[in-house]
């Protein structure tokens, strides 16, 4: 679904051209213009309409379309995904109400300190996304790498059944109904994710369509409400501030719902370092492959770098000085259960492609990755 952009302020091309760092901005303009504004044509669209209850032939076709996209790019738009438009509208509305609360109220559900799985409210600047995995003794390097704060705030919800990672809720009277809604939405997203995991299994040639489901009870997923406040476009373009720098996701797959603001960009695998816009597309979610599925598939499926950057310029409204619109998105990260043992799939292993990774449990893998994310 597409949420209409709320133009609190929009970038103008003039703004870039009149600025001192002309060269850099011209590049930005051509990069934005070269991207297809209705969704990059790099990212395929797959319609799930005839998946549930569909014939074996149409299921097979959809499964190969999805797995092809996961293999080539790691990103795919999915339509008729099964999250009703009004439910999604409601989710964005809860998100706006949450982030509109005064900071002191949001801080009643603070993210726990340290590199734990994310829960509760993360305030602007807390998280500094980086792609580096640090080993013990590299703390200085880690601190130096993180000068640029992420201008975003988020609220993360896990399942109530993951006892080692309890949720951090606001007191009920601060936002009555929030806990009930987000819990319901969490499980609705998992229903959708299960179908996508089935399609991937079928598409990569596993005999058992439910293979991945046996490792995913749903308890280890994470629903994330994200708000990127308005920010001066120039500071964003200059990397003085970041919305979300390039990273890959850690889990199996991620489902992403975004509003109409734009700014999500995906690295083009045929031109590393070149990012294309993954524009909001009406009624579509974006699914991407996470690092653990890439590892599981012996690198057959791709976990691709993506980031949230300056949205493409819009000529509609010019506001000076240009400020980007507020942006809301809702990723849903799907991960195997903590004890799941991830071993390169035999369907993705042959003489030319021997297993590239040793066994690892999800829990071990998660700990290794979490150290890079929070100070």
Q: Environment class of residue 264 by beta-carbon count within 10 Å: exposed (0-12), middle (13-18) or buried (19+)?
A: buried
CB nearer to ligand AKG: give 67 or 329.
Answer: 329
Interface residue with ligand AKG among 109, 253, 256, 310 (CB under 6 A) is 256
Out of ligand AKG, Fe ion, none, which partner does residue 256 contact, by CB within 5 to 8 A per kind? ligand AKG
Q: Which residues pair with 357 in a beta bridge?
A: none
Q: Least distance to Fe ion from the beta carbon of 126, Å?
A: 16
Dihedral sign (CA 362, 367, 372, 375)? positive
- Is residue 259 involved in binding ligand AKG (CB under 6 A)? no
Q: What is the rounded distance in angstroms from the CA atom of residue 98 to the CA atom of residue 122?
A: 12
Q: Three-class SS of residue 362? A: helix
Out of Fe ion, ligand AKG, none, which partner does residue 119 contact, by CB within 5 to 8 A per kind? none
Instruction: Give the distance from CA 131 to its chain's centroid.
Output: 14
Site for Fe ion in 230-259 (CB under 5 A): 249
- Is residue 258 involved in binding ligand AKG (CB under 6 A)? yes
Q: What is the rounded distance in angstroms from the CA atom of residue 326 to the CA atom of residue 366?
A: 31
Residue nearest to Fe ion (CB): 249
Interface residue with ligand AKG among 59, 120, 306, 374 (CB under 6 A) is 306
Q: Least distance to Fe ion from the beta carbon of 369, Å?
A: 12
Q: How far is CA 121 from CA 95, 156, 284, in A?
A: 12, 7, 27
- Is residue 308 involved in binding ligand AKG (CB under 6 A)? yes
- Is residue 150 involved in binding Fe ion (CB under 5 A)? no
- Is residue 249 involved in binding ligand AKG (CB under 6 A)? yes
- Is residue 314 involved in binding ligand AKG (CB under 6 A)? no
Contact at 8 Å (CB) between 6 and 229?
A: no
- Is residue 200 involved in binding ligand AKG (CB under 6 A)? no
CB nearer to ligand AKG: give 156 or 234.
Answer: 156
Question: What is the CA angle 207-295-118, rounded to 5?
Answer: 110
User: Per CB under 6 A, which region of 102-110, 156-164, 256-264, 340-348 contacts ligand AKG?
Assistant: 256-264
CB nearer to ligand AKG: give 221 or 329.
Answer: 329
CA atoms within 13 A on the CB side of 64: 5
Q: Environment class of residue 133 by beta-carbon count within 10 Å: exposed (0-12), middle (13-18) or buried (19+)?
A: exposed
Interface residue with ligand AKG among 74, 158, 251, 331 (CB under 6 A) is 331
Q: What is the rounded distance in angstroms from the CA atom of residue 6 to the CA atom of residue 63?
A: 36
Residue nearest to ligand AKG (CB): 329
How is residue 259 written in tokens? 């509003």
Q: What is the rounded distance in angstroms from the CA atom of residue 339 to the CA atom of residue 240?
A: 40
Q: Least distance to ligand AKG from the beta carbon of 29, Å?
A: 22
Out of Fe ion, ligand AKG, none, which partner does residue 244 contact, by CB within 5 to 8 A per kind? ligand AKG
**Total residues contacting ligand AKG (rule CB under 6 A)?**
11
Per CB under 6 A, residues contacting ligand AKG are: 224, 226, 244, 249, 256, 258, 264, 306, 308, 329, 331
Per CB under 5 A, residues contacting Fe ion are: 249
């Amino acid at each position: 679904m597409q949420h209409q952009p709320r133009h609190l302020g929009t970038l103008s091309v003039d703004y870039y051209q009149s600025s001192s760092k002309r060269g850099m901005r011209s590049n930005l303009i051509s990069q934005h213009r070269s991207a297809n504004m209705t969704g990059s044509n790099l990212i395929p669209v797959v319609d799930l309409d005839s998946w549930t209850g569909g014939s074996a032939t149409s299921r097979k076709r959809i499964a190969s379309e999805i797995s092809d996209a996961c293999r080539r790019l790691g990103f795919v738009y999915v339509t008729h995904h099964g999250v009703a438009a009004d439910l999604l509208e409601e989710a964005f509305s809860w998100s706006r109400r949450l982030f509109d609360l005064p900071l002191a109220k949001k801080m009643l559900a603070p993210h726990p300190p340290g590199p734990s799985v994310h829960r509760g409210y993360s305030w602007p600047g807390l998280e500094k996304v980086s792609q580096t995995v640090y080993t013990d003794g590299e703390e200085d390097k880690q601190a130096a790498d993180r000068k640029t704060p992420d201008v975003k705030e988020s609220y993360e919800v896990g399942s109530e059944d993951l006892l080692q990672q309890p949720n951090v809720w606001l007191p009920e009277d601060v936002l009555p109904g929030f806990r009930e809604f987000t819990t319901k939405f969490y499980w609705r997203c998992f229903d959708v994710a299960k179908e996508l995991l089935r399609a991937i299994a079928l598409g990569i040639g596993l005999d058992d369509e439910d293979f991945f489901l046996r490792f995913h009870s749903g308890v280890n997923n994470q629903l994330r409400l994200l708000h990127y406040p308005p920010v001066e476009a120039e500071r964003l373009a200059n990397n003085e501030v970041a919305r979300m720098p390039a990273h890959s996701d850690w889990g199996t797959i991620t489902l992403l719902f975004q509003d109409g603001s734009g700014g999500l960009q995906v690295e083009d695998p045929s031109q590393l370092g070149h990012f294309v816009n993954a524009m909001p597309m009406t009624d579509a979610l974006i699914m991407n492959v996470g690092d653990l599925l890439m590892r599981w598939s012996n690198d057959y499926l791709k976990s691709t770098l993506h980031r949230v950057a300056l949205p493409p310029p819009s000529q509609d409204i010019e506001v000076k000085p240009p400020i980007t619109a507020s942006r809301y998105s809702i990723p849903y990260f799907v991960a195997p259960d903590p004890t799941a043992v991830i071993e390169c799939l035999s369907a993705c292993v042959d003489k030319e492609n021997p297993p590239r990774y040793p066994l690892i449990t999800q829990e071990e893998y998660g700990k290794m990755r979490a150290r890079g994310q929070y100070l």
